[in-house]
Amino acid sequence: MHAYEGTYVSGEWSPSAGERIDVTSPATGEIVGCVSAATADEVGSAIEAARVALDRGPWATSTPTDRAAAIGRLADVIEARSKEFADLISAEMGSPRKWASFGQIGTALGVLRTYEKITADYSFEEFRASIMGGTVLVRQLPVGVVGAILPWNAPLFTAMLKIAPAMAAGCTMVLKPSPDAPLALSMLTEVIEAAGIPPGVINIVSGDVATGEALVAHPGVDKVSFTGSTAAGQRIGAVCAADVRRYGLELGGKSAALVLDDIELDAKTIGGLVTGVMANNGQVCAAQTRILVPQSRYDEVVDALGSAVAELTVGNPADRTTDVGPVINRTARDRIEGYVQRAAAEGARVVVGGVRPEGLDSGWYVSPTVVADVDNQMAIARDELFGPVAVVIAYSDEDDAVAIANDSEYGLAGAVWSSNRDRAARVAARMRVGSVSINSAAPLDFGSPFGGFKKSGIGREGGPEGIASYLESQSIIG
C-alpha cells in the first residue's frame, strides 16, 4: 500500500483538506495506494512556492551547467530505483512488467540523459549585428512557472518530457498526475529530495478534474503543458488563450503503419507491427493502430498478423510472461469492446480477439484483437481506441496509401515498412504527422522533436526544440 496523502510543496509534504483518492489495480480491482485531491487553495500555494523558487534562491541564479547537473542527478536516483518504479507503475496502471522496465523507466531515463547532455551546451544568449549599427543581445529567458498535467499511461516518462526541458530552461513547475496513476509521481518526490533539487522547483498536487482546472485557470501559471485527450486539450487551450498565456498540447493519435508491397514479411516485420499496436496494452498515444496493406498482399499480411496476435499472452501485468495486461478501467474496456462490435456490424471481419479473455474475471481485460476488411471511414479507423486493437485497411497503390494515412483528424506519428529504405523515406516525407519511423515501431527519438499535426496537438517535446518551448526571447539593443 503506497499512501501519499497531502501535497508536495516547496520540498515538503503538507496535509491536504481534499478528499482521499484510492488507486486501484486495473488487473485485480484491489487498492494499491492513495493520494489526496488538492484543493484550489492548495494548488495556489504550490504555484506560489514555484514562483518563489523561480525569482529567488539558488534556482534563480543557476547556470546551464548547474541545471544539467541537476537533471543528471535525477536520472542517477531514478536509475538506482528503477525496479521500484517499474513495479509501481505496473501495479497502478497495468503495464506489463517485462515491458515496463524499458517502456516506462528506460524511456524516462533516456529523456533525462539526453537533456543532461543538451542543456550545458544550449545557447541561451547570442550577440547579433544590428542592421542599424551596433549589436543586439538576444537572451532566452525561462517562460516562468509551468503547470504540467500528466496522463496515466506512461506517468514517469511523460513527466520527464516536461520536467527535463523545463528545468533546462530554468523554469519551475507544479505537476498534477492523473488520478488513475498518481503513485509513481508521488514517489518521485523522494527522488527530487535525494537529487538535491532546490525546494519549490518541482511541486506535486494530485487530484481529479477540479484540481486540474484550478491549476490551468490560475493566473500565476505562465505556461500549461498538457498530455492527454484532444477534448481536454481543446478546453485547456481555450482557457489559456483567453488570458494570453502559453500552452503546449500533446494529444491523441490514430497513427498509420504503411506496409509497402516490397516488404519482406519476416518475424521481425510482423513482430514490429504487433508491437506498434499492442505495446503497453495498446495504451500509447502514438500506437500504430491503422495497418495499411497493399491489396496484392492483403490476405498474407492479415493471416500473419492474426497468427502472431493469437500467440500473445494475456494476464496479470506483474507476471513477466504477460504480453498484454488490462486496460485502465471498466469504462475503457466497455468502450473498446463497443467499437469492435460496431465494426463487425458494419461489415468488418474480426480475425482474432473480439471477446473477453477466459479466466480473467477480475480486472479490465480486452483480448488482443485484429479487425480486417476495415474501411477508413469506419469509426474504428477514425477514433482513438486506446486499447489492444489493430485495424487492417487495404490500399491500391502508393498514392492511395498516403492518402488514407493522411485522411485523419490526427497527425501524431506513423511508420513505413519497406525493403527499400530510400523508398520508405520518400513515402514517410509525404505523411502529415510529427514523426515517422522506418521499419520500426519506435514513435520518437529522445534528442528530436515529438508532437503532432492537426488535432494531435500544438508544440513539440524532446530535443532542443523541447527546451525552446519553455523559453521567451528578449532582445537588448544597443
Among all residues, which ones are annotated catalytic? 250, 285
| Exposed e or buried b per residue across 185-204, where buried means at least 16 C-beta atoms within 10 angstroms of its C-beta | bbbbbebbeebebbbbbbbb
- Please give the Cα distance from 310 to 304 (Å, whole number): 10
- What are the residues whose beta carbons fall under 8 Å from the beta carbon of 264, sequence distance 6 or more? 419
User: Cα separations (Å) of 225 from 2, 42, 148, 284?
Assistant: 27, 19, 5, 18
Parallel, antiparallel, or unpaired: how do β-strands 256-259 and 413-417 relate? parallel
For residue 417, the cross-strand partners are 259
User: Cα separations (Å) of 261 from 204, 240, 269?
Assistant: 50, 46, 13
What sign has the CA pseudo-torsion 208, 209, 211, 212?
A: positive
Give me the count of residues in the chain: 478
The position carrying cell 488513475 is: 180
- Please give the Cα distance from 246 to 223 (Å, whole number): 4
- What are the residues whose beta carbons fall under 8 Å from the beta carbon of 323, sequence distance 6 or more? 96, 278, 312, 313, 314, 368
Inter-axis angle of helices 398-406 and 421-428, nearest 10: 40
Residue pair 111/200 in contact by the 8 Å Cβ criterion: no
- Please give the Cα distance from 375 to 10 (Å, whole number): 53
Interior angle at CA 171, CA 165 and CA 173, nearest 5: 90
Residue 458, amino acid? I
